[in-house]
Amino acid sequence: MTTRRGACPTLSAPMKTGDGLLARIAPAHGALTPEKLAGIAKAAGRYGNGILEVTARGKLQIRGLTAESAPLFASEINALDLGPVDGFAVETAPLAPPPPLAERINAHVVERGYAALLAPKVSVTVDVGSALHLDAIGADIKLIMADDGQWLIGVGGNGATAHWLGVGDERVAGDRALAILDLLAQTGGRARDFTQAQKNALRVGLEPALQHPARADSAPVGRFALKDGENALGIALPFGQVAAEALVTLCDAASDAEEIRLAPRSGLLLIGLDAPRQEALSRAAEALGFVTDGHDPRLSIATCAGAPACASARFDAKALAAEAAAAGLPDGPFRLHLSACEKGCAQPAGPVVNLIAVEGGCTLSSVGAKPSERLRTFLIERGETLRAALLRKTG
What dihedral angle (degrees, nearest 10) is formed by the CA atoms of 245, 296, 305, 155?
120
* Backbone angles phi and psi of 242, in degrees to 5: -150, 150
Query: Least separation, in Å, of the C-beta of 336 and ligand SF4?
Result: 14
Does the footprint of ligand SF4 cover residue 305 (CB under 6 A)?
yes
Sheet holding 301-303, edge to edge: 301-303, 335-339, 352-358, 361-367
DSSP assignment of 95-138: TSPPPHHHHHHHHHHHHHTGGGTS-TT--EEEE--STT-STTS-
Q: Is 347 in the site for ligand SF4 (CB under 6 A)?
A: no
Of 313, 325, 352, 375, which lies in the binding site for ligand SF4, with binding defined by CB under 6 A? 313
From 64-72, 101-109, 144-152, 299-307, give the range in contact with ligand SF4 by CB under 6 A.
299-307
Q: CB 321 → ligand SF4: shortest distance, Å?
A: 12
Amino acid identity for residue 122 in this structure:
V
Query: Residue from 32, 281, 340, 353 that binds ligand SF4 (CB under 6 A)?
Result: 340
Q: Pick the closer one to ligand SF4 by CB: 345 or 364.
A: 345
Q: Is residue 304 involved in binding ligand SF4 (CB under 6 A)? A: yes
Of 58, 264, 306, 350, the one binding ligand SF4 by CB under 6 A: 306
Nearer of residues 61 and 92 to ligand SF4, judged by Cβ: 61
Residues pairing with 365 in the sheet? 354
DSSP bridge pairs for 116:
none
Question: Is residue 343 involved in binding ligand SF4 (CB under 6 A)?
Answer: yes
The answer to the question of residue 56 lying near ligand SF4 (CB under 6 A) is no
What is the rounded (10 degree) CA torsion for 168, 171, 175, 180? 50
Stretch that binds ligand SF4, among 19-27, 108-116, 217-225, 336-344 (CB under 6 A): 336-344
What is the Cα Rg of the chain in Å? 21
Measured CA to CA, the distance from residue 181 to residue 186 in angstroms comes to 8
Residues in the chain: 395
Region of 37-45, 103-111, 191-199, 334-342 interacting with ligand SF4 (CB under 6 A): 334-342
Which of 66, 249, 312, 385 binds ligand SF4 (CB under 6 A)? It is: 312
In the chain, count H helices and then E strands: 9, 19
Closer residue to ligand SF4 in complex, CB, 232/356: 356
Under the binding rule (CB under 6 A), the answer on residue 289 touching ligand SF4 is no
Instruction: List the one residue from 11, 40, 310, 353 that touches ligand SF4 (CB under 6 A).
Output: 310
| CA dihedral sign, ordered 76, 81, 82, 85 | positive
Rounded Cα–Cα distance for residues 393 and 395 (Å): 6
**DSSP-assigned beta bridge partners for residue 2:** 15
Torsion angle (degrees, nearest 10) of CA 183, 100, 158, 310? -90
DSSP one-letter code for 297: G
Is residue 2 part of the contact set for ligand SF4 (CB under 6 A)? Answer: no
CB of 59 to ligand SF4, least distance (A): 15
Out of 341, 362, 369, 379, the only residue in the binding site for ligand SF4 (CB under 6 A) is: 341
Closest approach of Cβ 357 to ligand SF4, in Å? 8
Helix (H) or strand (E) run with residue 321 in it: helix 317-326
Burial of 255 (0-12, 13-18, 19+ CB in 10 A): exposed
Q: Please tell me whether residue 345 binds ligand SF4 under the rule CB under 6 A.
A: yes
Give the whole-angstrom CA distance, residue 209 versus residue 230.
Answer: 33
CB of 385 to ligand SF4, least distance (A): 17
One of 97, 272, 344, 351 touching ligand SF4 (CB under 6 A): 344
The minimum distance between CB 203 and ligand SF4, in angstroms, equals 34
Confirm or reject binding of residue 115 to ligand SF4 (CB under 6 A).
Answer: no
Stretch that binds ligand SF4, among 24-32, 38-46, 306-314, 325-333 (CB under 6 A): 306-314
The footprint of ligand SF4 (CB under 6 A) covers 304-306, 310, 312-313, 339-341, 343-345
